[in-house]
Chain A
């Protein structure tokens, strides 16, 4: 969860210059800055400078040789961004594919992990539950393990002769070759229902170089197994946040609702959940940011295969830069991804706030 640091913690606003009377004295101000200095230097050196350099690279024709600020590197304006957004071709199609894949990934992972985390936290919060300590550890355990190690384990589980398929065989199901089918699950289901392979109504038009049929494909089977993996590993961490929040809720309100005759479901939906809104916001925001940046699992498990259905913007940015040596384009992808995350976080904030406003106006 290094993303947590980079995206949510902004340096605290500097204290206002010493005011006469109330504010800190000059000396205190100076000492304050002195204490801040190491952090500021670290932030500047490892966050501000690289981000600034990347921004420059994304509008330059740097080839990855020597300094990006040397005289041989030229400003190319929005060329790198144009290749991704407006110029039809493979670059654009790959970028659109990565956005689609990651979109489905987020769509499945965020609600699943949030709901599951909340459910587990509620279970743990039961006063009469025995062996709380054990379950707390068991649920949290996947979160602590290395994502690379877990991915390797999943690689074995989901190989075509792996454990998952062996288990399916016990029930007479012939398991798929998890990392081979290039179709999306929606396409597989629709094809199974008799919809032709490439319905003309959906394949004749598209957006960003992908047809609507491709946009609506759903995650591929391979992506589904990555979704399972990520939900499993991240749920524990979010569960802990919900659990901490639940522990802090005053029991009186719940008891009052109980006396008023509210049943379990009503108490959860009308009493507990509204009180958890700040935590819910935190979990959703962190989930959203984390899932849009998924990289480790892709790098270890599939590297985009089969047929680019597990390609994500973060991995595409990496492969475009380091493997394809199109550094400008790689950085441009990173900044577009950043934009997507910012926009979606704002949307989500607005959505959660909106409800708040309605409720208040009702009173």
Chain B
């Protein structure tokens, strides 16, 4: 061993050993082994997307309350700047948070890493059916929806009366919507504004009876006459100038356009109520349900659920924590702090009484369509958005044809 080369060789061997150790031990354990469960007081990590201080504080308070009652458990609340990225990191490293918020649009790709506990909760039937559907995969409810929001139509009441419109003119269908937008479009402002993505334009597809995917999300249904009807209506609205995308009128999004009075009507979600109070307290407005399309009423729902990691060592405790967060009173407390709607129907009446201005959003709960939950559809829908942004110049038929092709490819058919 006195050969001069022995040291480099030892160094290389040592480095190799080190690499092997890091690769096999520590963060990279094989996930096929089920996590051993630990009973008693737990130390839980809970990750949410940080939407602002109010939500973080509310969740911290709620978890602290549970921890105090649980006899020695601790909960660490982590507010993620980039939830999908941080969750992916956790799963890849084999150390995900025990409980985490999962956005519906990402749900399916996380399902394999989640504990499908949804069917075992006592309040399963109390959850809104559309939300249950969103988080069901292969017949199993994977996680319970923590809250939800829907889209509705906000109307600037001052501009409404100035245009000579009354309560009788509140649009109930597409024709009335177009007529009202026409009357509200003046030199100073445009009649209707909505964001230029699938998350708003999609509502018109639903109202026409369409959607890019079938109910099981197994087949592409983009190039149907229903979708064409919906998209053509959007194109016509934009082409006639009675509706505009926010960027066309110098606003970052529809909330800004509506708040600044650049648009008299806006298609927006629950979060707008809080935004208006905070940023534009002087604007007078009311919210009504979205007008029905040829296939009836339709809106979109946006939701997240409480996921539990399959790898968690404290699954029982995690379930108890989720149960605590899902108590109707707790849901109402969340609703109060950050403007979401309770996902349990038993909280509906009380919610209506406390938040009358949210009635139109809540009314949408029954006709709401959940988002696409397949992650592999993400690039397809981003491309769809890019096409939507080129309306009214683009051809709806062509857009849907491309969507159909891309969706079919993404579904692997």
Contacts and interface: CB of A to CB of B under 8 A. Distances in A.
Contacts of B375: 323-325
A18 interface: yes
A161 B379 contact: no
A66 B24 CA distance: 11
Interface in B82-127: 82, 84-85, 88-89, 91-92, 94, 109, 112-113
B31 A325 contact: no
Interface SS majority for chain B: helix
B390 A70 contact: no
Interface string B236-262: 000000000101101110000000000
Contacts of B250: 160-161, 177
Interface string B20-38: 0011100011111000000
A304 B23 CA distance: 34
B18 interface: yes
B247 A69 contact: no
Interface in A55-106: 63-67, 69-72, 89-91, 94
Interface residues of B, number: 48
Nearest to A162: B250
B22 A49 contact: yes
State the 5 A-B residue pairs at the shortest beta-carbon distance, nearest first. Answer: A66-B31, A307-B386, A180-B247, A67-B28, A160-B250
A90 B94 contact: no
A308 B382 contact: yes
B31 A33 contact: no
A90 B383 contact: yes
B221 interface: no
Interface stretch (A39-47, A223-231, A288-296, A354-362): A39-47
18 contacts: A41-B18, A44-B18, A63-B112, A66-B28, A66-B30, A66-B91, A69-B24, A71-B32, A89-B409, A94-B379, A94-B383, A159-B252, A161-B250, A177-B250, A320-B379, A321-B88, A324-B376, A325-B88
Contacts of A91: 379
B231 to A, nearest CB: 17
A90 B113 CA distance: 27
A83 to B, nearest CB: 10
A159 B256 CA distance: 13
A307 B389 contact: yes
A44 B19 contact: yes
Interface of A: 14, 17-18, 26, 29-30, 33-34, 37, 40-41, 44-45, 49, 63-67, 69-72, 89-91, 94, 159-161, 177, 179-180, 182, 197, 304, 306-308, 320-327
A90 B331 CA distance: 41
A65 B4 contact: no
Interface in B389-412: 389-390, 393, 406, 409-410
A160 B390 contact: no
B11 interface: yes
A17 B245 CA distance: 70
A66 B15 contact: no
Nearest to A311: B382
Contact of B30 (A40, A67, A94, A177): A67
B19 A49 contact: yes
B248 A177 contact: yes
